[in-house]
């Protein structure tokens, strides 16, 4: 009961089953990925490779966030079947009221990404269950771990970019370009035509050029 009251204060709103289930499923399906990665690491050089591949996974998440953000801002309608309510409407509403992401329940803000990543990880788990056994791949599991964690955290990182106050460690990561910088993200809300990548923002210079080229060609 005490734990429930603590969680209630943390999220500031009633907690639904789906809001707890989403991150729980991610943890459950990420544990085998972490286990396979640990089995594949044998020395310092393996650890260095794992860190590099995990960073590439984070980079891939930044690209994914840019593509999804661009498509949701520019294509489809809010009443589009399946994705309209789940994706399109929240992105459009965020432009009208950017601070909503800060006011909302932290579990609710991150629920959709957690469910999406849990579904992907479930498919990976199914593949490992039915495929012939092979030695765990260091590169593949490190990349998948980096990608998965970054996807799960993307909406929280986006939330921090809008927050007036964040933990000192988060602020340091923002200022040093590890996480999405609020100043850079403000450029998106000022123009709605650039800075679509919202995980780290590393790919925004390249993605912005691609968007301009797409607009010129259309």
Token pair for 190:
């000022």
pTM: 0.90
How far apart are alpha carbons 139 and 114 in whole angstroms? 23
Structure letter (DSSP) for residue 176: T
**pLDDT, position 210:** 95
**pLDDT, position 79:** 86
Return the closest-CA partner of residue 20 out of 9, 11, 33, 29: 11
Number of Cβ atoms within 10 Å of the Cβ of 217: 6
Contact status, residue 88 vs residue 78, Cβ threshold 8 Å: yes
**pLDDT, position 13:** 63
How far apart are alpha carbons 128 and 30 in whole angstroms? 13
Token pair for 12:
């500031």
Q: Give 118-123 contacts, CB < 8 A, sequence gap 24+.
A: 118/22, 118/25, 118/26, 118/28, 118/29, 120/148, 121/26, 121/29, 121/30, 121/33, 121/148, 122/25, 122/29
**pLDDT, position 1:** 45
Return the closest-CA partner of residue 104 out of 167, 179, 16: 16
Report percent pLDDT > 70 for the chain: 94
Contact status, residue 59 vs residue 202, Cβ threshold 8 Å: yes
How far apart are alpha carbons 99 and 189 in whole angstroms? 11
Q: Is residue 169 over pLDDT 80? A: yes
Q: What is the mean pLDDT of residues 38-58?
A: 97
Tens of pLDDT, residue by residue over 110-153, are 999 999 999 999 999 999 999 888 899 999 999 999 999 999 99
Q: Where are the domains of the chain?
A: 16-217
**pLDDT, position 218:** 64
Over the range 139-174, which residues count as b (16 or more CB within 10 Å of their CB) and which as e?
Answer: bbbbbbbbbbbbbbbbbbbbbbbbeeebeeebeebb
Q: What is the mean pLDDT of residues 33-40?
A: 96
Q: Which residue has the higher pLDDT, 122 or 192?
A: 122
Q: Is residue 70 over pLDDT 70? A: yes
How far apart are alpha carbons 187 and 194 in whole angstroms? 7
Tell how far CA 135 is from the center of its chain: 28
How far apart are alpha carbons 48 and 24 in whole angstroms? 29
Tens of pLDDT, residue by residue over 82-119, are 888 888 898 899 999 999 999 888 999 999 999 999 99
């Amino acid at each position: 009961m005490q734990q429930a009251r603590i969680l209630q204060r943390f999220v500031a709103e009633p907690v639904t089953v789906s809001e707890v289930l989403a991150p729980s499923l991610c943890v459950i399906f990420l544990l085998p990925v972490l286990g396979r990665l640990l089995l594949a690491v044998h020395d310092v050089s393996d650890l260095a490779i794992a860190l590099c591949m995990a960073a590439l996974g984070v980079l891939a998440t930044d690209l994914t966030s840019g593509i999804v953000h661009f498509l949701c801002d520019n294509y489809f309608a809010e009443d589009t079947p399946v994705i309209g309510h789940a994706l399109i409407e929240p992105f459009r509403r965020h432009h009208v009221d950017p601070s909503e992401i800060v006011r909302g329940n932290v579990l609710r803000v991150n629920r959709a990404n957690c469910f999406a990543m849990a579904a992907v990880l479930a498919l990976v788990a199914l593949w490992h269950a039915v495929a012939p056994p092979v030695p765990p791949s260091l590169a593949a599991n490190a990349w998948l771990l980096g990608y998965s964690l970054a996807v799960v955290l993307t909406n929280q990182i986006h939330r921090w970019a809008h927050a007036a106050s964040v933990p000192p460690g988060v602020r340091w990561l923002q200022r040093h370009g590890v996480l999405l910088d609020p100043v850079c993200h403000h450029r998106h809300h000022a123009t709605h035509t650039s800075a679509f990548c919202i995980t780290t923002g590393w790919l925004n210079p390249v993605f912005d050029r691609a968007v301009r080229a797409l607009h010129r060609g259309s």
